[in-house]
Structure 1
Amino acid sequence: MVELDVQIPTAFDPFADAENLDATGAKEYVHIRIQQRNGKKCLTTVQGLKGNFSYDKILKDVKKQFCCNGNVVQDKVMGKIIQLQGDQRKNVSHFLVQAGIVKKEQIKIHGF
């Protein structure tokens, strides 16, 4: 038999950095999605905002600034979700960053 001079690394823990996620500034993402309704109609959803924010006040400001309708929906699994009429993904992401609610790196925009 041939013996190879190769070092095999010991157990690698891919979640070793996960301990640092409990620190402040952890990567908790705000997900902005678009859902197709019937025909040309679509719906924008904002999910993942922290619970210490007033969803109703954020919704009121967004509705006024972008001239759209919307509401806050309570989901069993996901928590509170903001729903807006139309494709407001870019508008909402710019609004959340400028208002200081989240950082730009914490926003994930999904959709087609």
Structure 2
Amino acid sequence: PFKETESEDSSGEEYVHVRVQQRNGRKCLTTVQGLGTDYNYNTILKDFKKDFCCNGTVVQDKELGKVIQLQGDQRKKVSNFLIT
């Protein structure tokens, strides 16, 4: 019974990573990864695009899975959106 409780505690936390990648000049790209498979990425992307007035896409990565890419520096807006 102790082994089961240890495995539950260790797998309890998953992180969502919000990063900004510099493109060229003043242009940058915001990536959101680690949301999990329970969510519909296209619906989340649609809400992001409408609320933040930017363009974006969902990219399938071999290592990271599905990643949402948004144009511009949207870090604060994405984190506020996900928290509330």
Shared fold (TM-score, shorter chain, > 0.5)? yes
How far, CA to CA, are the matches of 1:77 and 1:50 in structure 2?
A: 14
In 2, Cα distance between the equivalents of 1:55 and 1:75? 14
Q: How many residues end up aligned between the 2 structures?
A: 79
1:60 correspondence with 2:46: yes
So what's the TM-score if we normalise by structure 1? 0.67
Higher helix proportion (structure 1 or 2): 2
2-side partners of 1:87 and 1:21: how far apart? Answer: 33
Structure of greater Rg: 1
Q: Match for residue 90 of structure 1?
A: 76
Partner of 2:10: 21
* Runs of 5+ consecutive residues of structure 1 not aligned to the other structure: 1-17, 99-112
Let me know the Cα RMSD of the aligned residues.
Answer: 1.4
Q: Equivalent residues in 2 for 1:1-112 (5 A)? A: 19=7, 20-22=9-11, 26-98=12-84
TM-score (norm 2): 0.89
How many angstroms apart in 2 are the aligned matches of 1:31 and 1:72? 15
